[in-house]
Structure 1
Amino acid sequence: MLSDFNFKTFYSTATDNIPENFYSLALKSSTKYDRVSGYFSSVSLAYYAKGIEHLLVNSGKFRLIISHEISEKDYEQIVAGYKNRNKSILTELESRIDFSLLTNSQKKNLSNLSYLIEIGLVDIKIGFTHTGLFHAKYGMFKDDFGNIVYFSGSLNETEAAFTKNYEDITVISSWQSNEQELLDKSNYFEKLWREENNDGMIFVKSIDEVIKSKLISFSQGKVIMEKNIFEDNAIVLYFDNGLRIVNNLKSPLDLKQRSMKQIIRKGFSDERVEKFKDDLSYVDIKEIIKLFERYSGRTGEKLIVTDNVYQFINDSEFKIDSVAKRGLAIKNQDQIFDASLTEFVNIVNSEVTRPLYKIQSWVSFYQATMQRVANFSVPGSGKTSMVYGTFAYLSSSQINKIDKLVVIGPKNSFLAWKTEFKSVFGNKREMTVLDVHDEKFREEMFFKNINDYNLFLVNYESLEKYKEALNNVVDSRTMLVFDEVHKIKRVDSSRASISIDISKKTKYKYVLTGTPIPNTYQDTWNFLHILFENEFKEYFGIQLSALKNPDDFTIANFIKKLSPFFWRVTKAELNVPKENDDHIISVTANQIEQQIINLLWKKFSNQPFKLYIRLIQLSSNPQLLKDKISIDMYGDYGIEEEQEFVLSDDTPFYDKDELALIDSITSSAKFNECIKLAEHLINDSKVIVIWCIFIDTINQMKQALERKGIRVAVIYGGIGARQREETIVAFQNGEFDVLITNPHTLAESVSLHKIAHDAIYLEYSFNLTHMLQSRDRIHRLGLPENQETNYYYFMTEGQEGKRGTIDRKIYSRLLAKKDIMYEAIESELIKPEFTIDDKAEILQMMEEEI
């Protein structure tokens, strides 16, 4: 809204850029612009074209009353409808506006004014007095919230007023001055506009519809920014939200020429080379220009490539080789960047209330300087804060490169982005967020007053639904972030394709993940195309198939190419205190549990995947053995596109005796021991997290702890976004003693380390990434030097000499894989964390046991 901006009281053409600093700023939130001007020229619109664009987006209206050199009597004769008079006026108009005799600049300005009248954005009426000209000069901007910005002074609505004359204006706002006086001014304009003024001094009349129709006939159907498109006997390539062509030759293009055939064959244009593709890259456009230059050389036809085409190329071109050298120098913290870093830190500190750590400042500076890079810092290192440091700098008044941050990531990350914004900026910036999971969100919000928001949050699952909306939001002044980008590692996925397309609209784009290569080097394909879609082929020079099982030489060359474009901060660099050794709590199966263990090994010995799931269930929640294995067990588990192997099975068959045996046990020994430990830790004034897999186990544990008077919070996928966020905040504020959740829902993007330092693992699967990320919820940057962090793992063991569950086997395999993973994620280089497919490894493990 208008009241969000700080307008000066006085503006002067000698010291201020009035079109940009006042007009465009006010029009950004306006839905009405009412103007009375002694003189007007259509070229003046170009000086605040961005503001006009905002008025279009806001479905606004520009009403203009101007002076005109005709008498009231003459005008009355026109509107009276004398046929001969109308004809003579039209003849005079045509003689004065002979389009063929106008200069290219005049053609452009007339076309633009005509177009804005045609679409209803601009409406013009004529004001005059009995004698002389109507010289009043004032204007009003209005928004949908009743705010008014009024200005008056010597300024006319002409190019000369903006660029040559000395002019000044005085500005008054309704929220800072006498609102009634401005309402009176507004009402007076309405009287003038409705032609109801009866003071006998000023008369306002509408333009005759016949004349208006003639004016509209000069419209080109859009705003024209380049005068050269009217050049006679020439082929003109210009840029207007994409490459455009105007053929001003007296004949069509010769499509038999090889250059034209290549343009068509490569899919750059339609089959007649009359319309180019909308999503051409700067690389494509450079090639098209070369082909047209070849065509011009062979045919002798004149070719004009307008300045805004070359400006687009220059703005878009990423000189990747030189940028790579810069990236390595910054990562090495070369002293040549000391002055730039100091300036960066000073600007950031003026924008935020919580300064960055030194290493975070380097990474944030690196991101701002490089414009498109990856942040592979380990979980818990403060990647979100680093991004906000970059955002603070780029959106500061001194730099002013961007004005909004669009984050695409898991919905679990939304709360962190919102809370970190407030923690980082404090009272220096107000967060205005569009969150697609907020209960007040409506899709039309993507298309109305989008400039009111500085933070947009969209989850990966919503990309297909909001693809068009994001294309409307993301532009050259957007900072685009893909959080937990490994979520879209599958090369053929629609989400990855949409992400790559959206990323083409801005040069400030960043990908974040602590696990960049979960399985193979192919996992880098999508995020590298998000960052370097146009440069990938030339710079990296590698095919997708070559990244599946690359040899050592290929790996070394690939990492060398990649190294300048990612930064990885390790926990060691941040001095995060080391966690304690894991606490292993073994629970021996009781007699009934042992019988069920034996039953499961016998019943499912030829079905290793089913046996794997059923043994995990028995260990913690035996009643689940009677249910079918389904995604529903996990609670909204199937949402993620890049999910681990999940077994689905029909309801199992048990005979009468087997069912009686299962029904004879209501809770497992491990479950009961977990309750005892939780109660002990809570009595010791500790706040804890309990990790499970299955929803039913979460709810059973909740009920058991609540019966003991313990305050319990639960979160799983089926819980709505708002309730989830409210629960997390309440837990972080100490309103609960324990949080029970599962890694499928809460393993990423949530910080619990300021309240909880003890985590219990009642259930855990073979997914190492989930296990490590869940551990990082309580072991992160910001822990005091002497803070202890404890993890407790429960395991059901078989009786001596008898079969057991697979808890210990899973843990042992996870421990071995954890060492490999930590070696990878704590290294400054990147490599696959582990290469064995979970499903194959589960099969191998179970077959060894069977």
Structure 2
Amino acid sequence: MDASVEPLSINVSWPDALTLIREFGTKAFQTSLGFRFVPQGEAVERIREFSDGFRKARASQGALKKEIDREEIQRRLSAAGFTRRTLKDFQFRDLENLLALPNGANFSVPGAGKTTVTFALHVLTRSPDSHIIIISPKSAFPAWRAVVEECMEPGAPNGGDEPFKVLDSRFDIDKELRSGSTRFLISYDLAVRQQSVLTAYMARNSVHLVLDESHRMKAGLASQRGAFLLSAATLPVRRDILSGTPMPQAASDLASQLGFLWPGHGYDLSIQRGQAPRDVLGNLYVRTTKTELGLPPAERHFYDVEMAPGQLALYSVVRSEALRQFTKVVSSGRIGQEFIKARKSVMRLLQLSVNPSLAVTGMSNDGNISSGIVDQVLEEGTSAKILAVADHARRLASEGYKTVIWTIFTDTIRELVTTLADLNPVFIHGGVQTGEETDPDTREGKLARFHNDPRCFVLVANPAAAGEGISLHTVCHNAIYADRSYVSTHYLQSIDRIHRLGLPADQETHIHIYRTRAPAQVGSIDLSVSRRLAQKIRGLEQTLGDPDLHLLAYDEENADDPIDYSVELQDLVDLVAELEGNADSTSEEA
């Protein structure tokens, strides 16, 4: 808690003041410590509102008291002009629950209609002078811009058909917010740069603030976006968070999101102190599962690919250096320069497992790698893993199927696009800008080509850039993973690009996961990723009670390990020595 101490006062932020009121709020407790809180001025009403909300939230944790039934929801939506889209049963259920809460969390799977439910919630709770602002990744902008036209009849009462205005850094944001519009979209990055403008806007208006993909603030006070959102959390009249993967790494990811949603209530502190997220959340969230969507389960397939000799030698050398760094980090217990080096080594091992010829380009500058090993890797060329992925995509194309190929490395995207030139691929990575569908160089133009061009059989993409906000399920039912990172959000959300609401009941969806096979003495980085993803998905399953996540984790846990037990440690030592030019020439040959 940050505070400034003056001779006659202690200054703290309003969220921190609410925490103090919660911790020391009872009259008996204050008397025992020899002091009394005496609210004055505006604080009297604000503390009363906080106390009312606190009691309601605590009561709702155990059992929600629904305040409006389905028939009344439908009647009010129709009266407001929300007639173009009919809500599904699970969407009505989620809306009923969210209406019973002053602030809400929608953790439904992608494709369940979180955007539609949240917009319906806005329509039902808005007053004539209220505003709504959505903070989201740019990839989600098209869905929010489309939802008004898809749901509202033209000329809906009270400006119900007003479109969302995108706030762009090219314009004066303060002027846009004062323009008379009441519905806005802004990216997380721009919101951080416009903190003072947004804070002033929320202070002078009745604003409903929605965080889409709210896990992006999971770092809390340790990040600029988290610190801003936590400091401004008490300003909006209502707050909602949306995420299909609210805890991508660990339970602690939820703390900052709950701190934003319920400032001063202590839910974030409960999680930080080790309380189970499921116990903390209670009924304070909604989630629609894939089973409830009626989706047939996706089938997951694992393929293990052997390393070439040069690749294996280089991987072994880097693994040894990485192990030294990891050991130093773990023993010191500190996050510093060694931790940064260790993370870099992890990324190198991941790249070496999929694309060693590109990895050596950056590594050769370090001067620690034998030129003999580098020469061998370059001579081997395109890795067996990339060739296997490419062959798989060609087999699917020969049967008329389109494929999305996922990789975490931009250089590997380029390599796959070149290798699969015969399939007319398109690609998306962080450097591809958003724009119009008519521009083939934009994200939207490339997606349009993948959907509409019968000769374009492959989309190669980075999950960090394309794992959110796009739908491929109408044309693509096969996803190939050339590699995966430790971030469960990227994996889960990328699967949901092809496995989402709208699939026929008999449609098969296939997830193909390629892993590099490594000797037991060295260990496979891909096996480590698989294990950690399973553990993180298990944690999400236990928090959200989603049986579909159990299946996904089970498949990871029961896939054969990509371990080669036929190679012994001395075999590796000899291989490295041979490629480094240090082999014992006097040894007998077979």
Query: TM range, normalised to the smaller chain?
Result: 0.7 to 0.9
Which residue number in structure 1 is paired with residue 295 of structure 2?
A: 576
Which residue number in structure 2 is paired with residue 485 of structure 1?
A: 214
Which residue number in structure 2 is paired with residue 737 of structure 1?
A: 457
Gap regions ≥5 residues in structure 2: 28-39, 324-341, 436-440, 550-562, 570-590
Which residue number in structure 1 is paired with residue 430 of structure 2?
A: 717
SS in 2 for 1:506: coil
- Which amino acid is the alignment partner of residue 267 of structure 1? N
Q: C-alpha offsets along residues 479-509 of structure 1, whole Å, 9 cap, x if unaligned?
A: 1111222222224333222112333222211
Name which of 241, 244, 250 aligns with 1:511.
241
Q: C-alpha offsets along residues 518-551 of structure 1, whole Å, 9 cap, x if unaligned?
A: 45544333222322224x15xx5x8x4x64453x
- Which amino acid is the alignment partner of residue 779 of structure 1? H
**In structure 1, what is the Cα distance between the partners aligned to 2:525 and 2:249?**
24
User: In 2 relative to 1, CA 690–455 (structure 1 residues): closer, same or farther, beyond 3 Å?
Assistant: farther
SS in 2 for 1:374: strand
Which residue number in structure 2 is paired with residue 469 of structure 1?
A: 197
SS in 2 for 1:504: coil
- Which amino acid is the alignment partner of residue 186 of structure 2? V
User: In 2 relative to 1, CA 320–797 (structure 1 residues): closer, same or farther, beyond 3 Å?
Assistant: closer
Report the Cα offset of residue 758 of structure 1.
0.9
User: In 2 relative to 1, CA 328–733 (structure 1 residues): closer, same or farther, beyond 3 Å?
Assistant: farther
Which deviates more from structure 2 when the two are superposed, residues 484-493 or residues 803-812?
A: 803-812
SS in 2 for 1:266: strand
Report the Cα offset of residue 792 of structure 1.
1.1
- Which amino acid is the alignment partner of residue 175 of structure 2? F
Higher relative contact order (CA 8 A, sep 6+): 2
SS in 1 for 2:282: helix
Q: Kindly indicate whether residue 348 of structure 2 is the aligned counterpart of residue 617 of structure 1.
A: no
**In structure 2, what is the Cα distance between the partners aligned to 1:811 and 1:464?**
32
Give me the TM-score of the superposition, normalised by structure 1: 0.52
**In structure 2, what is the Cα distance between the partners aligned to 1:806 and 1:518?**
22
Which residue number in structure 1 is paired with residue 316 of structure 2?
A: 601
Q: Kindly indicate whether residue 75 of structure 2 is the aligned counterpart of residue 346 of structure 1.
A: yes
Report the Cα offset of residue 612 of structure 1.
4.8
User: In 2 relative to 1, CA 343–402 (structure 1 residues): closer, same or farther, beyond 3 Å?
Assistant: farther
Q: C-alpha offsets along residues 348-387 of structure 1, whole Å, 9 cap, x if unaligned?
A: 2441411221121222233234231222223443222211
- Which amino acid is the alignment partner of residue 670 of structure 1? K
- Asked whether the 8 Å contact 1:747–1:774 carries over to 2, the reply is yes
**In structure 2, what is the Cα distance between the partners aligned to 1:614 and 1:284?**
47
Which residue number in structure 1 is paired with residue 572 of structure 2?
A: none
Q: Kindly indicate whether residue 361 of structure 2 is the aligned counterpart of residue 627 of structure 1.
A: yes
Q: C-alpha offsets along residues 62-107 of structure 1, whole Å, 9 cap, x if unaligned?
A: xxxxxxxxxxxxxxxxxxxxxxxxxxxxxxxxxxxxxxxxxxxxxx
- Which amino acid is the alignment partner of residue 717 of structure 1? G
Report the Cα offset of residue 284 of structure 1.
9.8
User: In 2 relative to 1, CA 563–479 (structure 1 residues): closer, same or farther, beyond 3 Å?
Assistant: same
Name which of 94, 109, 115 aligns with 1:378.
109
- Asked whether the 8 Å contact 2:298–2:499 carries over to 1, the reply is yes
**In structure 2, what is the Cα distance between the partners aligned to 1:819 and 1:500?**
27
Which residue number in structure 2 is paired with residue 128 of structure 1?
A: none
* Matched pairs, number: 506
Task: Give the RMSD, CA atoms, in angstroms.
Answer: 4.2
Q: C-alpha offsets along residues 635-686 of structure 1, whole Å, 9 cap, x if unaligned?
A: xxxxxxxxxxxxxx96354444333222213312221222222122223232
**How does 1:298-447 map onto structure 2 within 5 Å?**
318-325=52-59, 329-330=63-64, 337=67, 340-349=69-78, 350-395=81-126, 400=127, 403-425=130-152, 427=154, 430=161, 432-436=163-167, 441-447=169-175
**In structure 1, what is the Cα distance between the partners aligned to 2:531 and 2:237?**
43
- Asked whether the 8 Å contact 1:570–1:827 carries over to 2, the reply is no
User: In 2 relative to 1, CA 279–572 (structure 1 residues): closer, same or farther, beyond 3 Å?
Assistant: closer
Q: C-alpha offsets along residues 284-323 of structure 1, whole Å, 9 cap, x if unaligned?
A: 9999xx9xxxxxxxxxxxxxx98x8876666666332235
Name which of 547, 565, 572 aligns with 2:284.
565
- Which amino acid is the alignment partner of residue 389 of structure 1? A
**In structure 2, what is the Cα distance between the partners aligned to 1:263 and 1:346?**
58
- Asked whether the 8 Å contact 1:797–1:804 carries over to 2, the reply is no
Q: Kindly indicate whether residue 262 of structure 2 is the aligned counterpart of residue 532 of structure 1.
A: yes
**In structure 1, what is the Cα distance between the partners aligned to 2:96 and 2:61?**
11
Report the Cα offset of residue 410 of structure 1.
2.7
**In structure 2, what is the Cα distance between the partners aligned to 1:451 and 1:662?**
60
Identity %: 25
User: In 2 relative to 1, CA 747–662 (structure 1 residues): closer, same or farther, beyond 3 Å?
Assistant: same
SS in 2 for 1:605: helix
**In structure 2, what is the Cα distance between the partners aligned to 1:421 and 1:375?**
19
- Asked whether the 8 Å contact 1:615–1:805 carries over to 2, the reply is no
**In structure 1, what is the Cα distance between the partners aligned to 2:7 and 2:520?**
74
Q: C-alpha offsets along residues 672-702 of structure 1, whole Å, 9 cap, x if unaligned?
A: 2222221222232322211012111101211
Give me the TM-score of the superposition, normalised by structure 2: 0.73
Q: Kindly indicate whether residue 476 of structure 2 is the aligned counterpart of residue 756 of structure 1.
A: yes
**How does 1:88-487 map onto structure 2 within 5 Å?**
264-267=8-11, 318-325=52-59, 329-330=63-64, 337=67, 340-349=69-78, 350-395=81-126, 400=127, 403-425=130-152, 427=154, 430=161, 432-436=163-167, 441-448=169-176, 450-474=178-202, 476-487=205-216
- Asked whether the 8 Å contact 2:486–2:533 carries over to 1, the reply is no
SS in 2 for 1:267: strand
SS in 1 for 2:184: strand
SS in 1 for 2:11: coil
Larger Rg: 1
SS in 2 for 1:791: strand
**In structure 2, what is the Cα distance between the partners aligned to 1:432 and 1:375?**
23
Q: C-alpha offsets along residues 542-563 of structure 1, whole Å, 9 cap, x if unaligned?
A: 8x4x64453xxx54xx755531
**In structure 1, what is the Cα distance between the partners aligned to 2:514 and 2:177?**
53
**In structure 2, what is the Cα distance between the partners aligned to 1:285 and 1:370?**
22
User: In 2 relative to 1, CA 586–262 (structure 1 residues): closer, same or farther, beyond 3 Å?
Assistant: closer
Gap regions ≥5 residues in structure 1: 1-260, 269-276, 291-304, 630-648, 832-844
Q: C-alpha offsets along residues 273-292 of structure 1, whole Å, 9 cap, x if unaligned?
A: xxxx99998999999xx9xx
Report the Cα offset of residue 787 of structure 1.
1.5
Q: C-alpha offsets along residues 202-261 of structure 1, whole Å, 9 cap, x if unaligned?
A: xxxxxxxxxxxxxxxxxxxxxxxxxxxxxxxxxxxxxxxxxxxxxxxxxxxxxxxxxxx9
Q: Kindly indicate whether residue 422 of structure 2 is the aligned counterpart of residue 698 of structure 1.
A: no
- Asked whether the 8 Å contact 1:447–1:472 carries over to 2, the reply is no
**In structure 2, what is the Cα distance between the partners aligned to 1:356 and 1:265?**
53
**In structure 1, what is the Cα distance between the partners aligned to 2:191 and 2:314?**
46
- Which amino acid is the alignment partner of residue 404 of structure 1? H
- Asked whether the 8 Å contact 1:627–1:651 carries over to 2, the reply is no
- Asked whether the 8 Å contact 1:520–1:548 carries over to 2, the reply is no
Name which of 522, 535, 557 aligns with 1:817.
535
**In structure 1, what is the Cα distance between the partners aligned to 2:543 and 2:449?**
29
**In structure 2, what is the Cα distance between the partners aligned to 1:309 and 1:606?**
58
